Amino acid sequence: MATTQSNFIIGNEMGLRIRTWWSERLYPGNAHFKGVNAYVSIPVQEGVARPPRVTQFGVGFEFAFDVRWVLAVDVLHNATGAVSTAYMMTDNGGRYSMHHDYAASADQTLVAPGFEYNWSPFSGVIAGFATSFSGVNSPTTFNVQLAYSHVF
């Protein structure tokens, strides 16, 4: 994961923080399975699945109106590669057959605005929502978010 952050003072000594991040998950190999599992929902003898590459990148803005109130907006993009599975099945006669399945890749863009209120330099609450736009093989979502923030 790579992250960078910059802080700026603008206007009447109001703060602006800009963050960017990028992360990528690569799995070291294949997942071997037998029977019913998360990759194939029918009984199979045995098989192998190649998990996808998952990439996320984004940018976040935090604008401080004063020492207590902050407006935050994150924009991020998720990209998930295709999943491939190969498995062996037996029919009622005991004959084996080999099958290959591919799950399509998916892309999704998400926007998450919110307000933060800090009643002390160490504690505060964050309230907002996250919404995604219908991307490639991904639905549109809307989620309300509420968090308590405390620095020890």
Full pLDDT tens readout for the chain, 152 residues: 788 889 888 877 788 999 999 999 888 888 777 776 565 556 666 778 888 889 999 999 999 998 899 999 999 998 888 888 887 777 666 677 777 777 788 888 999 999 999 999 899 999 999 998 767 777 788 999 999 989 88
CB 17 within 8 A of CB 61: yes
Domain that holds residue 11: 2-150
CATH of the domain at 111: 2.40.160
pTM of the entire predicted model? 0.71
**Considering its fold, how many domains does the chain have in total?**
1
- CA 115 to each of CA 22, 40, 72, 145: distance values in angstroms, whole numbers, following the listed order: 24, 42, 6, 10
Residue 119 φ then ψ, to 5°? -90, -10
